[in-house]
Amino acid sequence: MDDVTIKILLLGDEGVGKTTFLSRISGGSDGLEGHAPITLLRDIDQPFIFEIRNRKRTYRFEFYDTSCPEDWHLLEPDLVLICYDISQRLSLINMQRVWIKQVHGTFQAGDRIPIIVVGLKRDLRSETDPNCVIDPQEGYTVSQEMRVDKYVECSAVTGELLKLAFEEICKTAAKTVTADGGQSEGGCVIL
């Protein structure tokens, strides 16, 4: 059995929910379903490691959250997750103006690194304040404009779509070690 290590970097504004997302998935299958209590991971414990085995390989996913590693620019990630808070329009704007440019400007392989946009805090979506909350279609449209590979959204607090989002992140991460790489062919995929 082959062991493969894959580095996954989470980027996004402070407070968008990256640490809560990682904390929830660290709860294993109970965490993915939203049943386990959330115990927030500590920044000093980075990278956050998740191992997944199949018949051929053991994948070691090393997640790096930008809130801790001051030198995240020195990482050489295999996959980048750009995260935003569905209830905060500024985090969507910064995703377009700041974070995608950081990826392309920082990493030598910036154009070849698969990028997934992750809309977090889905549980805060409300129809009562449409000026504040980003609907799935707008998030997807912005992701297409940024030319990322996939768009997913979930709620770490309730577990809504968390398992699906995590599975898609893992599938894309696993593809980064194949000859084809993890980038999608021609456009953003919504999940």
In whole angstroms, what is the distance from residue 70 CA to residue 67 CA? 8
Query: For residue range 93-125, what is the model confidence (pLDDT) as tens digits?
Result: 999 999 999 888 888 765 688 999 999 999 887
pLDDT mean over 44-48: 74
- Any idea what the CATH number is for the domain that residue 59 is in? 3.40.50.300
Query: For residue range 10-31, what is the model confidence (pLDDT) as tens digits?
Result: 999 999 999 888 888 877 655 5
Give the lowest-confidence range in 33-37, 68-72, 101-105, 168-172.
Answer: 33-37
Of the candidates 88, 70, 79, 91, the residue with the CA atom closest to the CA atom of residue 13 = 91
In whole angstroms, what is the distance from residue 177 CA to residue 6 CA? 8
pLDDT mean over 139-150: 92
Number of structural domains in the chain: 1
DSSP result, 77-92: -SEEEEEEETT-HHHH
Which domain covers residue 36, as residue numbers?
2-190
| pLDDT for position 154 | 93
| pLDDT for position 102 | 87
The percent of residues in the chain predicted with pLDDT above 70, rounded, is 75
| pLDDT for position 9 | 92
The percent of residues in the chain predicted with pLDDT above 90, rounded, is 36
Tally DSSP H helices, then E strands, for the chain: 6, 7
Taking the model in full, what pTM does it have?
Answer: 0.85
